[in-house]
Amino acid sequence: MTNLVTLDELREAHKRVTGAVVRTPLLPCLHGEPGRALWLKPENLQPIGAFKLRGAHNLVASLTDEERARGVVAHSSGNHAQAVAYTARRFGIPAVIVMPDTAPRVKVDATRALGAEIVTVTPDRRDTAAFELAAEHGYTLVPPYDDRRIVAGQGTAGLEIAEDLPDAAAVLVPVSGGGLLSGVATAVKALRPDIKVIGVEPELAADAAESLRTGTLTAWPAADTYRTIADGLRTTSLGTVPFAHVREYVDDIITVSESQIRDAVRFLAYSARLVAEPSGAVATAGYLFRRDALPRSGDHVAVVSGGNIEPALFAELVG
Amino acid sequence: MTNLVTLDELREAHKRVTGAVVRTPLLPCLHGEPGRALWLKPENLQPIGAFKLRGAHNLVASLTDEERARGVVAHSSGNHAQAVAYTARRFGIPAVIVMPDTAPRVKVDATRALGAEIVTVTPDRRDTAAFELAAEHGYTLVPPYDDRRIVAGQGTAGLEIAEDLPDAAAVLVPVSGGGLLSGVATAVKALRPDIKVIGVEPELAADAAESLRTGTLTAWPAADTYRTIADGLRTTSLGTVPFAHVREYVDDIITVSESQIRDAVRFLAYSARLVAEPSGAVATAGYLFRRDALPRSGDHVAVVSGGNIEPALFAELVG
């Protein structure tokens, strides 16, 4: 049985990330529904364009000086890569990022620009390649979600939500590997247990909803999850550490369609002046289109988790 | 001679607006130049999509209960209209907005949706119409910039910048009627006199640059200023109250071209995940393209003043 992340660990993590991440405000959205106000937590405004910085910074800041000086390695399809690269640059240590050859170019370029060394592999090789590099060079592996230091780091966003809107009815969070959802749920339930915490994922990558419903950690084939436009949410299953927290603290996981995700990207551009990537817009899609599965009234918070999107796709969605 | 807004007035204004406006963070931008870091003050994230809420709220909150209950009237081509409508709704008082028939539809619709009564007139009639409505119904006129309560309200953004980045080298601010520039300059110079405060306006509406250079408040013909894509900056001259502050506190006013403004909208979308309208992007354009007129090193802050843009134009600029 996994030991769950404690409120003390979350508070330690928050001290570590303060000054290294943006303390994002909660933004009231004028275009929510009467009696069901919408607030946005704009994690796309972090310097790398996504919440992932919170977890990566917390992990790297937790290392000993000696461990840290040897450098870090990570595998990621995108935002986690930039988070690790940015954090390494901030600490002045080497970073190697293993990327699948399917990663969007905007994310590859952005990671290289942050000074990381990029190693490109086929998607099936990325875990192995990262482990091999860690063993060979003494790098610390920074996992994208399956680690309690990552869960605690992402959870700092939940501490801020509970502090800023303690009487919220519900917090909606995108779910993929589950680092953000599990961290936010742990933080919110520790401080304000009456707030519902609800994961949102694409119908086409609904492994987490199935896992929560059945009580068994379930993986979907990558051939299925890779169909969604939400390229940050194609992970085939929750991590085991996140799943333990999700079972304990998450009230529900709901799904949204591809067209709902597209509409939410447009909504965020014109109703909140935020550039969101499809993965970053799923929680907002949940608010807009899944009221059947949400509290009937009260303040709703949607976490806008990222904003790194290819220009051609963004122009199409906002045009 | 105009009495200039004092630091005490700015601090009073900040108390009034706290809770009614978003305390926007300063966002570090990864795509600034080495040695000349770029920070963004995202006022486009205010609930109405622009900084104008600060001044409108400060003015309405300064009224007596009796004055306030009678209602307010304003004339505006856009963001000020939404600011007054939003503020009136928040206080539960009537608002009438006089709009030129040239105002972008997105701004007209948004103002009506906030519960204000809209009166449409030809551009030459808008001042007169607002005065007439005020006299007839006992409404308080809320001017868009030429009022010390408005200057003090907009200046609260400057207090926040000086608090968040006290060692900045320069703060760049869009300029039209001058409410935001004069308020920010007054606040920044009161707290951190070494920080340069620089106005930025379109080459096609460079009346303020001319006024500062000549020392004489100068108006440009609307036929000229209406050529710029930056529809929020087409005001033909600074207000007299802002001009007095600009002369005292602003270091320089620089200009940017139309293509530079367009590029800055795109830059903000992909490098900062912010939707900016052209007027909201001019300060960023100044940072990106007018380094000849700026400090050679140090932290630069660009105020992103608004984000209400027509979808067709936005899709064109980000495509």
Residues on chain B touching A42 (C-beta within 8 angstroms): 45
pLDDT at B110: 84
Phi and psi (nearest 5°) for B122?
Answer: -70, 150
pLDDT of B181 over the 90 cut: yes
Whether the CB-CB separation of A183 and A160 falls below 8 Å is answered with no
What confidence tier does B105 reach under pLDDT thresholds 50, 70, 90? Answer: confident
What the block records as the tokens of A118 is: 């990029």
What the block records as the tokens of A99 is: 């990327």
pTM here?
0.96
Domain A53-141 - what CATH class? alpha beta
Residues on chain A touching B23 (C-beta within 8 angstroms): 25
- The reply to whether domains A7-50+147-318 and A53-141 share a CATH topology is yes
Q: What ipTM was reported for this prediction?
A: 0.96
Residues on chain A touching B311 (C-beta within 8 angstroms): 270, 318-319
pLDDT at B235: 85
Distance of CA A25 to the CA centre of its chain: 17
pLDDT at A124: 84
The C-alpha of A233 sits at a distance from chain B's nearest C-alpha, in angstroms, of 19
Q: Which residue has the tokens 């991440």?
A: A21
Asked whether the beta carbons of residue A24 and residue B25 sit closer than 8 angstroms, the reply is yes
Asked whether the beta carbons of residue B22 and residue A24 sit closer than 8 angstroms, the reply is no
Q: How far apart are CA B146 and CA B144, in angstroms?
A: 6
pLDDT at A100: 86
In this structure, the strands spanning B27-33 and B36-42 are antiparallel
Q: How far apart are CA B131 and CA B144, in angstroms?
A: 13
pLDDT at A210: 97
Domain ranges of chain B: 7-50+147-318, 53-141
Question: Could you tell me which CATH number the domain at A7-50+147-318 has?
Answer: 3.40.50.1100
Pick out chain A residues at pLDDT < 50.
none
Q: Which amino acid is at B283?
A: A
The C-alpha of B316 sits at a distance from chain A's nearest C-alpha, in angstroms, of 7
What confidence tier does B59 reach under pLDDT thresholds 50, 70, 90? Answer: very high
Q: Which of residues 34-73 of B touch A (CB under 8 A)?
A: 42, 44-45, 47-49
pLDDT tens for B202-231 read 999 999 999 999 999 999 998 999 899 998
In a 13 Å sphere around the CA of B61, the CA atoms on its Cβ side amount to: 23
Q: Which of residues 276-305 of B touch A (CB under 8 A)?
A: 276
pLDDT tens for B68-95 read 999 999 998 789 999 999 999 999 999 9
In this structure, the strands spanning B36-42 and B300-304 are parallel
pLDDT at A108: 85
Enumerate residues 6+ apart whose C-beta is below 8 A from A44: A50, A274, A275, A276, A277, A280, A304, A305, A306, A307, B273
pLDDT at A252: 98
pLDDT at A2: 62
Residues on chain A touching B318 (C-beta within 8 angstroms): 311, 314-315, 318
pLDDT at A1: 54
pLDDT tens for B5-26 read 999 999 999 999 999 999 999 9
Give the sign of the dihedral formed by CA B289, CA B290, CA B295, CA B296.
positive
Q: Which amino acid is at A60?
A: V
Rg (CA), chain B: 18
**Catalytic machinery residues of A:** 52, 305
pLDDT at B226: 87
* Residue of B264, B94, B247 whose CA lies nearest to B181: B247
For A1, the 3-state DSSP assignment is coil
What the block records as the tokens of B98 is: 């006089």
